A and B are shown apart, each in its own frame.
Chain A
Amino acid sequence: MAQIFPKSMNVLARMSILAVPFLAAGGGAAGTAFYRSDYTTGAREVTEQPIPFSHKHHVAQLGIDCKYCHTSVEVSANAGFPPTKTCMNCHQQMWQSADLLDPLRKSYATGTPIAWNKIHNVPHYTYFNHSIHVGKGIGCYSCHGNIDEMNLVYQSKTLLMEWCLACHRQPELHLRPKDEIYNIKWKAEDVTNPDTGKPYDQLTLGKLLKEAHQVREATVLTNCSICHR
C-alpha cells in the first residue's frame, strides 16, 4: 500500500509539534486579550439613555462644574446623580419645549424619577468610595477619562481589578493638586516647578503631592479590606 503522505511531510509534522507551545501561548494571549478587551469590560461602549444628555455640551461648552450635578462627590461613596429638579433649574427657562426633554418634563410633572442607564458598574463586593479619592487628589479624569468630550457617556477605562490596583500601587501617577480635581484638561506639565523653572512631570509632582496629601503607602492601599468587606 502506498504511503498517503510523501516523505516531505515529515518536516511539516515536526514543524507542527514545534508550533504547539506557540499555539498554546498564542491562545493564552488571545484569552487574556479577550478578557481585557472592550468587548468584555464594556469600555468605550456607548449606551442609549432616556435623554441623550451630553457632557460635552454641558461641561466643555457651558462650563458647568461637575459638582453642580454630582453634589455628594466630596462627602459620600456615591458622587450622586442629579435629581430631576437640578435639570429643571435651567430647563424651566431654556429649551422648555424641546422634544428631547420630554421625559424630563414628564418626570418633573408626575414625580416619577428618570431611570438612567448606569455606565460605570463595579461589582457589588467592591466598595468604591468617591469622597476619599477626590479628597486625596485623584481627579475625575483618572477614572472617567475625557468625560468633557463625550456626547453620550461611556466607560473609558476597563474597571478591572488590575486597573484599580495599578493606581493603588502607584498613586503618584495620578495625583493632582486639590483645586484641579474637577479640571478634566489638567496636566502636570502645566505646572512649573519653582526649583527648576521647568514644567513638572507627573511622577515628580505626584510624589510631592503624595506627601502633601498624606496618601497612604501601597502596602496599605492594596489591603483587601480597603475595597472588599
Chain B
Amino acid sequence: MPPETTKAAAGEQYWQSIDQWMDSTQFETLMKNEFPEDAGEWLDPVSRRQFLTVMGASVALAGGGIGCNPSLKPAPAKKAVPYVKQPDQLLPGVPLFFATAYAQQSGVGLGLLVKQTEGRPIKVDGNPNHPGSLGSTDIYAQGSILSLYDPDRAKEAKLSGKSGGYDNFVTSIKSELEKQLGKQGDGVRFLTEPSTSPTFIALLDEFTKRFPKAKWVQYEPISRDNARKAIQAAFGAPANVVYKLDKAKVALSLDADFMVSGPGAVRSARDFMKNRKVRTVKEAIANGEGIPVESMNRLYAVETMLTSTGAVADHRLTLKPSQIPDFTKALAAKLGVAGVTAPALTGLAAQWLEPLSADLLAAKGAAVVLVGDQQPAAVHFLALAINEKLGAFGTTVTFTEPIETRPTDLNDLKVLTDDMKAGKVDLLFILGGNPAYDAPVDFDFAGALKGMKGTKVRLGVYEDETSFDGQCQWFLNASHYLETWGDVRAFDGTVSVQQPLIAPLYNGKSPLELLATLLSYGINDPLELVQATWKKFHDATVKGADFEAWWQKCLRDGVVPGTAMPAKTVAAVKPAGEVLADKAFAVPAAKPGLEVQFRADPTIYDGRYANTGWLQETPKPITKLTWDNAAIVSPATAEKLGVTNAFGWTGGENGRTIADLAKLTLDGRSIENIAVFILPGHADDAITLHLGYGRTHAGKVGTGAEKGAQGPGFNTYVLRSSAGLWNASGADLVKKSDTFHLACTQGQYLMESRKPARHATVAQFKADREFAQVPPASAAEYKELRELTPGTVEDFKRLGFKHPYEQHHDSAHGTEHAAHEPHDKRMVPLSLYPTNPSTVNGVEASKSYRRWGMAIDLGACIGCNVCVMACVSENNTPVVGKETVTKGRAMHWIRVDRYFSIPGDETQSDSLGAANTSDAYRAGQVKRSDSIRTHFQPIVCQQCEKAPCEVVCPVAATIHSADGLNDMVYNRCVGTRYCSNNCPYKVRRFNFIQYSDYSTESLKLLNNPEVSVRTRGVMEKCTYCVQRIRNAEMETEREFDKRKVAGKTDKFGRPKIMDGEIVTACQAACPTSAITFGDLNDDSSAVLRAKAEDHNYGLLAELNTMPRTSYLAAIRNPNPAMPKGA
C-alpha cells in the first residue's frame, strides 16, 4: 500500500463517488491504475459479433486491397459525379443551413438550424431567431440527427407484418371509412401524442366535421395535466404560463428541473443563468456577458431526486414526494395565502420557512416559484397563489392564451381503452407515441390492443411495442421530422414551419399526409397542406403583401411573425380554501413504506430515444449512468435496506458499479430484479425511478439483436398506474443476492485531489476575488500560477486589472499575501515540458500569431450534457456500448465531471471544515442529503501551451500548431498511448478496436465530412473544433484584401477573424453560454475578458502546462439567514 493516501491531502474537498469520499483501499489501488483492466478485450456479446465481421472485412481489405493493387497508390480511384442540373444556391463543398423545428413534450417546438452538406443533414444547432432556442439546443435535438439515419427505422408499410403497400392501405381504409359515414364515425378513434401543429389540428377538425362521432384521444407519458388542471381551477379558464426568468431575483423550485426538462427549458436556462455569471470587467458586463456580483439571483430548490437545477441551487432541501405538498402549504400559509392551513413541518424544512419566505417577500415582484410537472395539481395551484402574492404576475410569470388547442386528459385514454375492450372501436388510428409500452399499467392498453377486433392502423417511425409482428393490422412507416413539412408552436406560441432537409429515406408518411389522404382532401403533399394553413393566416393578417416572399422569409427565419400567443390577463386566483377542498386537488396520504417517484429519463426521455446510441451513451447529468436506469436511493436508505454499491476489479464507480439487485413491489405489482444505485443528495426513504428503459422492441441499440429480448435497463412502467402516475407510496424493496453491473462514467479520469472545481460564496468572493487561486497540492507557490494561464500583463492593464504576477510583486499590495512569501521565482519559467517551438516571423508564435483559447464559466454550467452531444455529432464520435464504457473507454471528447462536496457543520461557506477524517465521520457526512453540494466541470482538451503529451510521443503524432492547438495527427499515430499516460487532464481517448461504424450504409450519411472518421489503434481528443477554425481562417484569409479595406485587421496586420466568427460545437449548443472561445491575442475578444477575471483559474496550472482552457470558478449566492450547513 502506498504510504500516502488521497485522504492525506488534508480535508479532501471534492469527490465524485462515495468510495472516493470514504477513501477505501480498493479505490486507492484503482486510482493508481492507468487504465481500467481488460484493456484488450471486447466483452459486449452483440458487439463482438460485429467486431468479427469488421475484422473479417479488414483481413479481406489487407489481402485484396494491397495484395491485388501493387500500385501502392495513396488513394483509390474515385468517380466524380456532378449534377445534371445543379440546384440554385448549392455549391459542392459549401454547407447550407435550413431553419426547422422539432417537437417533444406536449408537442412544443424548439427552433433549429440544421447543417446540410451535399443534400444530407449532418448537424443540428439552435435557431437564434427562435424564442425557445436563442441558438442553443437540448440533448434530444442533438440526438435527433442520429435517429434520422437509424438503420432500425421501419422501412415499409406492412399489412399483418408483411409487405402491404401504402396504396393498398389507402384503398382498404377508404372503404372502411365509407362504412363509418353512416355511423357518423362512431367507431373511429384517433390516438396521438399532444400536438401544437395548426395544420394537423385543422385536418383533424375537418375529419371530425365529416365524422362527428369520431374521437381524438391524446396521450403522452410525461404530461402536464396537473399544471393545466391547476390553472383551470385558479382562473376558471385555460392559460399558458410563460416565465420571464431573466427578471427573477429569487426563485424557488418545487421539484422543477426547469432548466433541463420541460417545454421552454433551453430558454429558461439561458434566462436564469444569465444572472449567475459573475463578472467584474466592465466591458464584459456592458456586453451582457455577465453581471456584477451584487445583481446575482438566488435559487432555492426543494426536491427528492438530485437534479441539475438542484445541483446549481444556492440552497437545497430534500424532501420525500409526499412532503413537498405539505411544505408548499406551509409556505403558502406563511406568505399569507388565505384559506390554507399550515401543516406542521419538522426538521430542516421547518427551519427553512422563515428565512425563505422573508427572502421571497423581500424580492416582491422579482420572485418566482416554479413547480415540476410531476407535482400534484394542489402544489401547482398553491404556487400560483404564492406567485400572485409575491407580485410575480406580469413580471416573472406571464400568461398567454393556451398553445394547445385541446388539452390532454388521462381519462380520455382510459375511456378509449374501455371502448376497445367493449368492442366499440371499429377503426383505431395510432399516430406516433408508443402507448402499448408507456400507458399506465392499470389501463392494460397493450392487452386491449391485442384483444381489439376492429382495424388497427399505426403510423410510427419504428415497429415498436405497439406495432411489432403485425399487432396492428396496418403498420405505416412514418417520416422523420427532418424529412417532411410540418408546423409546430414554441412554448410562447410562436410557430415554426418545419421544412425537410432530405427526401424521406424510406418513403415514410407524415401524419399530415395520412390524414389528408383519408379525407380525400384533394391535396396530399405536406408542403401544400402546411402552405394552405399559412396562406390563410397570411391573407388574414399581413394582407396584400406577396405571399411567396412572406413564406420564404418565414422559412428562412424559422419563425412565422406574429404567431406568439397574445398575452392574457388572468383573473385573481380563486380562494385556496375553495379549490383545495375539491376532490381532484386532494393529495393522498402517504402509505407507510418507501415512496417512489417516476420521472422521465434524463437522456432517453420516456423511452422514445432508446435506440439512439448517442443518448444512451451520454452520461446522465447527475448519476453519470449510461445505458441503464436504476432504483436511485440515498446512502442512508441504502444502509437501512442493506443494499450496497461495490466496485470491482474494473473500478466501482470507476466505470463499473456493481450494484445489488432488488425486488421492488408497489401496489401488488413488482419488478423482480432492479439494480439499486446509491446517490448522495437523494431524499431518504424514497426511490426515484426513471422511465423509458427495458424496451422489448426498440431496435438493435435499445433492445439488442435478439427480437423481443429486454433491452438495457429496467422497465419501470410496469409499476406506474394512473393513480400513482408520478408519486406513489407503500413500496417495498427487498435486496437479492445477485448483483448487476452499471456503466457509470463518474470516477473515470480522476485528477486526484487537486481541487479541480473551485467555487465560493458571494461573501467569500467579495472578500477575496482571487479565491480561486488556491495553493495547489504539489506546488508551494500559487500567485505566479496565473502567469501561466494565458493573458499578458498588457491585456490585463487595458482591462483595468493588474496582472496577478505584477500585483503579487507590488510591495504596496502588501500584507494580504505576505503569508505566501518568500517566492521562489524559479517556479514560473520552470516546466517539465518544452515551450511551443513554433515561431512566426521569428517571434514565439503565442506572442505573434492567433492564439486560440477557451474559458468555461463553472458558475453557469448546469451539467446538462448538451455540449457532449454536440461534440459527438460534430466530431463523428463513435458509440462503444455499455461493456466498453465500464472499462473507461467511452470516446467522448468532452465530459462533464460531477463532483460532490460537503460544507462543514457550522459554516455556510464553501470551504470544508471537515478536519475530522475518521471513517465514521465521513460515513455520517455522506448521509446529510441536504448538505451535499454538487459541482459540474466540463473537461475538454486543455490545449496546453507546454503540452505533456507532445514530448512523449515517439512518432510526433501530436504536435503544436502555430496558433497553439495541440494537433492530433491520426495518420502518424501508432497507438503507443504514451500521450494518454502523460496527460494530467485525462482527455485523450484511444480506439482500442474499430469503434467507428464503417459498414452501415445509412450511418455513413451521418458523418461530418470535415472530420476524419478514426480507425482502430488511433488516439483522439478534443481539437477545439479545428475544422471550424480552419474554415473560418480560410474564409478570412482568402478575402484578405476586402478585410483590409473594411479595417478588419489584427494587431499584427493580418486579416482578422472577428470575435465570434468561430464558434465551437460545444459552445454553440450550450444553453447558458458557459463556454467562450476566441483569440487571446485579440484585444477585444470575449474570451480575454473572461480570462482577465480574478476568479479565472487554470486547471492543474501548477504543473506549468499553461492550459489554454481555463475556468471561471463558480460563485454561489447563499442566504446568510438560512440555517447553518444547509
Contacts and interface: CB of A to CB of B under 8 A. Distances in A.
A72 B1011 CA distance: 21
Interface in A58-98: 71-72, 74-78, 80-85
Interface string A122-159: 11110101011011100000000000000000000001
Contacts of A114: 81-82
Contacts of B969: 224, 228
Contacts of A135: 1034, 1037-1040
A85 B85 contact: yes
A83 B84 contact: yes
A67 to B, nearest CB: 13
Interface string B830-865: 000000001111000100010000000000000000
Interface in A201-218: 213-214, 216-217
A72 B92 contact: yes
Interface in B1018-1066: 1023, 1026-1027, 1030, 1034, 1037-1040, 1054-1055
Given A132-B1034, A229-B1030, A80 B92 contact: yes
Contact of A107 (B84, B970, B1039, B1054): B84
B1012 A124 contact: yes
Nearest to A160: B74
Given A117-B77, A229-B1023, A76 B92 contact: yes
A114 B72 CA distance: 28
Given A132-B1034, A132-B1037, A217-B841, A223 B967 contact: yes
Decide if the interface of chain B is mainly helix, strand, loop or mixed: loop
A92 to B, nearest CB: 13
B961 interface: yes
B1038 A136 contact: yes
Contacts of A131: 1034, 1038
Most buried by A among B74, B76, B91: B74
A32 interface: no
Given A107-B84, A225-B1023, A80 B91 contact: yes
Contact of A113 (B83, B845, B962, B1040): B83
B319 interface: no
Contact of A217 (B71, B72, B81, B840): B840
A121 interface: yes
Contacts of B838: 219-220, 223
A42 B77 CA distance: 10
Contact of B73 (A42, A47, A84): A42
A229 B82 contact: no
B971 interface: yes
Nearest to B85: A85
A134 B1054 CA distance: 18
B75 interface: yes
A3 interface: no
Given A124-B1012, A214-B1037, A214-B1040, A116 B82 contact: yes
B665 to A, nearest CB: 54
A20 interface: no
A118 B1037 contact: no
Nearest to B839: A219
B1010 interface: yes
B599 to A, nearest CB: 40
Given A85-B86, A124-B1012, A224-B969, A216 B81 contact: no
Interface string B485-507: 00000000000000000000000
Contacts of B75: 121-124
B840 A76 contact: no
B813 interface: no
Contact of B845 (A75, A160, A219): A219
Contacts of A84: 82-85
B71 A40 contact: yes
Nearest to B969: A224
A115 B81 contact: yes
A115 B74 CA distance: 21
A181 to B, nearest CB: 12
Interface in B950-969: 959, 961-963, 965, 967, 969
Contacts of A214: 1037, 1040, 1054-1055
B703 to A, nearest CB: 34
Nearest to B845: A219
A195 B1043 CA distance: 29
Given A40-B72, A214-B1054, A229-B1011, A223 B82 contact: no
A161 to B, nearest CB: 9
Given A115-B79, A121-B74, 5 more contacts: A84-B85, A118-B79, A135-B1039, A223-B965, A229-B1026
18 contacts: A40-B71, A42-B71, A83-B83, A83-B85, A83-B86, A113-B81, A113-B83, A116-B81, A118-B80, A121-B76, A122-B75, A123-B74, A213-B1040, A214-B1055, A216-B1037, A217-B841, A219-B838, A225-B1030
Interface of B: 71-86, 91-94, 838-841, 845, 849, 959, 961-963, 965, 967, 969-971, 1010-1012, 1023, 1026-1027, 1030, 1034, 1037-1040, 1054-1055
The 5 closest A-B pairs by CB, nearest first: A135-B1038, A81-B82, A223-B961, A78-B93, A76-B93
